[in-house]
Structure 1
Amino acid sequence: MLRLLRLPEEHRGLFKKPFGTLARNIGEHLPELRGRAVYAVGDVVTHNLLGAGIVPDIAIIDGYTMRSPCTQSPLLQTRRLAAKNPAGTITDELVEAIEEAVGNPPAVIFVDGEEDLAVIPLIIAAPVGAAILYGQPGEGVVLRLVDESAKEEAASMLNCFVRE
């Protein structure tokens, strides 16, 4: 049985605002990535990073963008991990894959389901100083630099979830 945390409907609105600095495109964030571990969540963000000449240390992808098959799925030649993660959840399987990838990068985590909420456990697992990028649907790309404040905020966001 898949052990997971589910985000109740009444808390979904909290996760619609950017959890970091929003930019229209990845290029605006490139200067802040120098000298940092770079983690990407999402097929398009990963594809755009590769197009900018940056290979992320960790990429979390699901083969979809905005619930449609992604024609820009990145082809990364690195260690591959897999995790099941239904929409609106964070599974223990996903958290374990993230911890494994952070502990031994580079890696790509292929998610069977949805990777949207992976940013939360990724921030908790990532080392201070890492840069995490993810797509904000219809708006652009968000950059969150990992510091103690980011880790505390991510941990408090997890408190909105219900264990099933």
Structure 2
Amino acid sequence: MKLPESLRDQLKVPLGLLLPESQADKTNIQKHLTENSYIITVGDRTTEKMIEFGLIPSLQIIDNLEKRAKRKPPKLESAIELTVDNPPAEITSNSMDVIKKAFAMKPPIRLTVNGEEDLLVLPVCIYAPENATVLYGQPNEGLVIVTITPEIRNKAQSLLDSME
């Protein structure tokens, strides 16, 4: 599925709470996590930040790029590694299948995307377990924290349904 021009502005609106960069520290992030939160990070910098805070994401989705520039992957010991091809401005059916598969595996899991991972926030929000919290970066603004609820699932599904 490709991202139509008409949806680009809509996807710039955070799906959840936007913590400004200056407030995106461990204490503020932990306030939005439940006791047994299944933490999902989408993005290299967000993943790296959570690992540095000792908040190891159950599912990490990275593409070894930050603002389109090549970077080293965040350091992590003993995660199950998966890879998938997902071109920029698209969500492939294979990506959705791999995300579903990742949720059925024992964490931590790292999914490395050849292409671009940004839009994979949508299928993650649809298929994430009930106790999940999704974290992703809002470029030049801060960190978005999304608690998975039926409303979030529906919103993500309708955005996905609007893709071509």
CA contact (8 A) 1:60 1:110 kept: yes
Q: Where does residue 121 of structure 1 map in the other structure?
A: 123
CA contact (8 A) 1:123 1:132 kept: yes
Three-state SS of the structure 2 residue aligned to 1:90 is coil
Q: Where does residue 7 of structure 2 map in the other structure?
A: 11
What TM-score comes out, normalization by structure 2 length?
0.92
Name the count of aligned residue pairs: 157
Three-state SS of the structure 1 residue aligned to 2:162 is coil
Q: Summarize the alignment of residues 10-159 of structure 1 with structure 2, pairs less than 5 Å apart.
A: 10-24=6-20, 25-27=24-26, 28-33=28-33, 34-71=35-72, 73-76=73-76, 77-106=78-107, 107-159=109-161
CA contact (8 A) 1:58 1:105 kept: no
CA contact (8 A) 2:36 2:131 kept: no
The worse-fitting range, judged by mean Cα deviation, of 30-39 and 148-157 is 30-39
Moved over 2 A (4+): none
Cα drift, residue 96 of structure 1: 1.1
Alpha-carbon deviations, 1:7-43, whole Å to 9, x = none?
A: 1112111101111000022432222223211000000
Q: Give distance in 2, aligned partners of 1:109 and 1:129.
A: 20
Structure 1 unmatched ranges of 5 or more: none
The worse-fitting range, judged by mean Cα deviation, of 41-50 and 10-19 is 10-19
Measured on the aligned residues, the alpha-carbon RMSD in Å equals: 1.1
Cα drift, residue 97 of structure 1: 1.2
Three-state SS of the structure 2 residue aligned to 1:46 is helix
1:105 aligned partner, one-letter code: K
Identity of aligned pairs, percent? 33
What TM-score comes out, normalization by structure 1 length?
0.92
Cα drift, residue 92 of structure 1: 1.1
Three-state SS of the structure 2 residue aligned to 1:97 is helix
